[in-house]
Amino acid sequence: MSKAAINRIDKQMENLDPECLRAQVLASLRQFRSSWVELGRLLTDVAYGGDYKEWGYDDFEVYCARELGLKKPTVQKLMVSYNYMRSNEPDRLKAYDEAGAGGMPPEIPDYQTVELLHRLRENDSLDEETKNDFHRRAFTGEDDGDLRKELRENLRPDAGEIDQANTNRKKELTDILRTARALRRKLAHTRAIPGGLKDRLEQILVELEALD
């Protein structure tokens, strides 16, 4: 995090009670690079508690962007990752919270890795053994960068899925073109539609045919 960003956060915190939720979120954001778990928890609390409305924001995403400088994809990943921890590593999460009192926090992967684990867990095309193996590797200290690469490869659709998607797209386009050509034939024999509108519809059909 840049010095300017830290200075901005410090200025925002000047007139806040350090114990209030709003100040806690900002303080957690300041430490974001070293630990994302607390920020994920607080963002989840703010989102579902609606506290941002009391702070003058009508929308949670607007609050995150303007007050915290966090983009929507980052916020979503942080919250998804925290909730993955809560569902799949409750004991580790509890140990992390208790370490705040001065103990040694347990090792936790970065939030990008955990978010990919969540996506893997939601993927019905992968077997449970693969999902569990990736989870185990992530939480036993394997390098995040190498593991993320493997996770993305497993989440990438295989050639069969791509071929099926292309087949479905071609079938859908064929159906659309059939309907559009039938409309062209019908319009050719009617005076109910102005000529200019017929020309525009013809241009649309030409563009559709170019997709085939």
Q: Quick one: tokens of 72?
A: 């929507």
The domain locations on the chain are: 3-101, 111-155, 160-211
Query: What is the arithmetic mean of pLDDT over 169-174?
Result: 82
Confidence at 159, pLDDT banded by 50, 70, 90:
very low
Q: Give residue 34's pLDDT.
A: 53
pLDDT digits 0-9 by tens, 81-140? 999 999 999 999 888 877 765 556 678 888 999 999 999 999 888 899 999 999 999 998
Residue 141 pLDDT exceeds 50: yes
pLDDT digits 0-9 by tens, 11-47? 888 989 989 999 998 888 877 655 789 899 999 999 9
